Amino acid sequence: MHTIKKSKHLPTLALMLTAIVWGAGFMAVQIALDSGFSEGLILLCRFVVAALVLLMVGGKRIFPVSRRDLLYGLIAGFLLFLGFYVQTAGLRFTTPSNNGFFTSTNVIMVPFIAWMLQKKRPPVKLFFCCLMALTGFFILAWNPQVGFSVNLGDLLTLLCAFFFAFHIAILGVFSPLVDAVRLTFLQITFAGGFSLIAFLLWELPALSLVNWQSGLPAVVFLGLFATCLCFFVQTWAQGKTSSGKAAVILSCESLWCAVFSVMLGYERLSVQMVVGGLIIMGAVCLLELDLPFPRRQKEEEAPVEQVVA
């Protein structure tokens, strides 16, 4: 019984670890941007590092690759590239905490995209947790002096949230059908290919401005941990839990972004950070409690078994 219970909560713990590392990843991206790295170069470095590590460690599980695997990897990789490219561009025009907050609004988008793709209405509890988490995000982003202000960076980050929401929902369909290592490698490789194209088309002249000494450790961290480790963990975990639940847990990255931003001196600790963070963590914990929320389909919390042609 204890083993079954432990196994049930393992995907949740894995996704929470992913959220922590991604929270630190916002700081790494900011350091890379401050070191002269362009958006495409940051993504190219992180995806190449991640793909090479996965190839060395999990080569036997990657091959052979079917046409269906390639198609799934291409779709997931394109959405991944769009999300990260727009997010990184947005970070040039807004603060790390705002970038984290607006990225995490994908939590409210995922259940509806998953509903559209999988034809299953999410349980009532999930909608409540999404709204609860969104409340926490608003508190985290509130500035008592100026309130809410929306700039170009915030708008770009909202767009990236849509791409990430679609990516999470798509993984909810693809992950049960493809080996986790293979799908992770394929989507990262395709995302790296799109990053290379963007870099060569628009950003090649900026290469001379890069401070490799200060920025290289940041992009290596992004490649090894925020990309290679986290996307493998996310792909594996989403084969064992619902897309909506994964979205709420992964949205905790905004909380950890605020924590690391304070630790590294980018922002000061405030009351709204504490209150907003507690609300977000409460939403995640509520997902794991078996409370008597009304639901139409008990099986909606189960992993998706739908086969996509």
Q: What is the pLDDT of residue 297?
A: 47
pLDDT at 303: 42
Q: Could you tell me which residues come within 8 angstroms of residue 298 by beta carbon, excluding any fewer than 6 positions away?
A: none
CA angle 109, 114, 120 (to 5 degrees): 130
Low-confidence ranges of the chain (pLDDT < 50): 1-4, 296-309
pLDDT at 293: 52
R_g (Cα) of the chain, nearest Å: 19
Running DSSP on this structure, what letter comes out for residue 145?
Answer: T
Cβ atoms 249, 287 nearer than 8 A: yes
3-state secondary structure of 258: helix
Sign for the pseudo-dihedral over CA of 139, 141, 145, 148: negative
Q: pLDDT tens digits for 261-297?
A: 888 877 777 787 788 878 887 887 776 666 665 554 4
pLDDT at position 97 is 76
Report the C-alpha gap between 29 and 219 in whole angstroms. 7
The C-alpha atoms of residue 77 and residue 192 are separated, in whole angstroms, by: 8
pLDDT, one tens digit per residue, over 19-53 is 999 999 989 999 999 999 999 999 999 999 999 99
**Residue 28 and residue 224 in contact, taking contact as beta carbons nearer than 8 Å:** no
The domains of the chain are located at: 11-301
Q: Is the dihedral of CA 75, 115, 238, 275 positive or negative?
A: positive
Question: In this predicted structure, what is the pLDDT of residue 24?
Answer: 92
The span from the CA of 7 to the CA of 10, in Å, is 5
Q: Would you state the pLDDT for residue 1?
A: 46
Closest CA to 47 of 99, 22, 84, 15: 84
Q: What is the pLDDT of residue 305?
A: 33
Whether 183 and 69 have beta carbons less than 8 Å apart is answered as yes
Q: Give Cα 104 to chain centroid, integer Å.
A: 8
Q: How many angstroms separate the CA atoms of 252 and 266, rounded?
A: 19
